[in-house]
Structure 1
């Protein structure tokens, strides 16, 4: 439909242009005199330019778009730099550049879509920079540029479209945290200290006599070559803590801050070499086990960038079905509101050895009561106090 309008619009402008040429010439011929011919010769160059402009080929090459910073997080402001070259031989007058921005839905524009006007002439290289303020989590979809060329008085208008299908992810906002392993005292006397001892095979502390059951890779072959006695390497024991974190996608209240908190916890634990797994509780379940490397963490962040709340789902039924994934890990639930469904799940999950930690993200920084439901500790966290989430768990 838009193409049809542009074709008829261009044809209509061309007809009007021809009528202007004919009418001014006819006026000069029939009226005669200095004034009529002066008007004709004065306006003729502009009419001739507009006529040639209507048929001149438009060649735009080397279209590029650079976005800084390259990785965007919620709330960031980004600069978009667009550059292209004009290879057309015809000297155009005015050029208006506009984003095809119908699909740019994750940007808080206070004005109209970004646009820029250039005086072209014989200029070849063009560059335009504008700002994307306060981007939201999700996907920014760029579809290209609309170039609008016009003559001196707008008698002829030409369009050129530079297509670009590019999606830019906006990740959750990350907050640097004061990391501490979870260790809490419950009211009924139980202590949540989910540490297990593992052998760090990268740190050898000594050797000992071989014992049945030792791994073949632990044998110290250098000592065996000297005295032909099997000896086994000893390694440093290291404490590790298994964490299983999930976000309540059935609640839309404070959901963006809940996603930010989840991403920040994941980032902090992986950065400090902890053991953590993540479960997305949307309509389609996505499970990311044992996240240790940056590439694994990046995949989780990519998923967190696009998840949305779905109030139609039941968090309790989802977790009951996925409870087998926990093993002996500490379950961390991040939500925007403590609902009756969550409370019921805490009661049903009272047999979990490692306990449950539920972070409830709140709007204000007012002091809220911490509660313990069965084997679950409910910790309210203000959206402005995310960096202290690990120390908040320690408080009674």
Structure 2
């Protein structure tokens, strides 16, 4: 309807100019008036043809350098416009119509210097170029989409505007041209502090994935630095005249479950959620080649579970899902966590990524600790967003023996990111 009104308006405007100039020449007479009429007549006829010129018959294509990109990366885009007849045109404005999900920039780990002001990363992404067309039948227009944010984004259409030299006639057409960009989460460089812990005063370190079952002694050996006092075998020590300790059966415990909070609280910090996704992916990648049995559980409006082994070592389902995941759901994470974990049997290790905690969360963790060997909570939030009640809750959970690590803009902006899961 709008296009039709514009066409009628332009047509009436040009016809009115022709009629006015012709009437002036007829009534005024003389060389000057007819000279003006014939001088402007080619221009007016050109404008009349331009009004009827069908730009909708142009062929517009888009070529992307790649459809799978890392967050913070750049996509090279080339628009190609082809037309059959080289009708002379002054200029054209070519504009990409993009989804709102692209109206944010990603600067990789530099994002987190704005963790207290996530709105600073929001902007209206516009890709618009003016190109002199002339008699060209084929036009190629390159441009870049830079600092792309994580997610599934769509390039929906291309808007083309043309005009004459004087700006009397303006035409516009939108070419539907859908393309999809998948921007994977940025994989952080992390320093994972895991199970390297020393026994009392000794120097021998063990991996926390290998826990000793000290209830079953399988033999004796000479004392080594790091052995506990309670392990000394006194009878053998007296018999051999040297300190002997018990040898225990090694019980491997290598189950690790990462839980990602994908709920949508009222005062959500979108940048904190992005940090949770990046950190979860980075830890999975770090543990990909270990013998650990690592699983990922995301809790939001739907609950999804993945295993590194089942998803072709992180190259398939997990990465694709973490590319598209967005926070949603009305229920609180703490209640969904309790409901989800109720049916689980005894667990070895849990690492929970969340940006909101409450008293119900604390009680849920206390309940889980009764049937879980180790629980680590990664509380990810900007320092200005952490409420006083949450600070008190964190302090109380630490007093109760819960291992909770607070990651704010200070920790997240560092490279490599130091993460402790012990």
TM-score class, shorter-chain normalisation, is 0.7 to 0.9
Aligned to 1:229: none
- 1:177·1:264 contact (CA, 8 Å) conserved in 2? yes
Q: After TM superposition, list the pairs within 5 Å mapping 1:218-233 onto structure 2.
A: none
Which of 260, 264, 278 matches 2:282?
264
1:20 and 2:13 are equivalent in the alignment: no
- 2:153·2:181 contact (CA, 8 Å) conserved in 1? yes
Higher relative contact order (CA 8 A, sep 6+): 2
Aligned to 1:214: none
- 2:86·2:137 contact (CA, 8 Å) conserved in 1? no
C-alpha deviation, 1:265, in angstroms: 1.2
- 1:178·1:387 contact (CA, 8 Å) conserved in 2? yes
Which of 108, 131, 147 matches 2:144?
131
- 1:10·1:157 contact (CA, 8 Å) conserved in 2? no
SS of match in other structure, 2:126: coil
Aligned to 1:344: 363
Count the aligned residue pairs.
345
Which of 322, 330, 341 matches 2:349?
330
Which of 57, 70, 73 matches 1:72?
70
1:255 and 2:277 are equivalent in the alignment: no
Q: After TM superposition, list the pairs within 5 Å mapping 1:363-378 onto structure 2.
A: 363=382, 372=398, 376-378=402-404
1:148 and 2:146 are equivalent in the alignment: no
C-alpha deviation, 1:285, in angstroms: 1.0
Aligned to 1:202: none
- 1:107·1:133 contact (CA, 8 Å) conserved in 2? no
SS of match in other structure, 2:85: coil
- 2:311·2:318 contact (CA, 8 Å) conserved in 1? no
Aligned to 2:335: 317
SS of match in other structure, 2:77: strand
Aligned to 2:413: 384
Q: Which moved more, 1:138-147 or 1:377-386?
A: 377-386
Which of 177, 186, 190 matches 1:173?
186
Which of 28, 33, 36 matches 1:36?
33
Q: Which moved more, 1:122-131 or 1:10-19?
A: 122-131
SS of match in other structure, 1:17: helix
Question: Partners of 1:170 and 1:186 in 2: how far apart?
Answer: 45
- 1:28·1:40 contact (CA, 8 Å) conserved in 2? yes
Q: Normalized against structure 1, the TM-score is what?
A: 0.74
- 2:160·2:172 contact (CA, 8 Å) conserved in 1? yes
Question: Partners of 1:63 and 1:361 in 2: how far apart?
Answer: 43
Question: Partners of 1:326 and 1:83 in 2: how far apart?
Answer: 58
Aligned to 1:91: 88
Q: Normalized against structure 2, the TM-score is what?
A: 0.70
Question: Partners of 1:101 and 1:34 in 2: how far apart?
Answer: 55
Q: CA RMSD in A?
A: 3.6
Kindly provide the CA deviation profile for residues 70-129 of structure 1, in whole angstroms up to 9, marking residues without a partner as x: 4131x4444433223233342323211112236454445756722111121221332223
Kindly provide the CA deviation profile for residues 121-144 of structure 1, in whole angstroms up to 9, marking residues without a partner as x: 221332223333433333322111
Aligned to 1:113: 126
C-alpha deviation, 1:278, in angstroms: 0.9
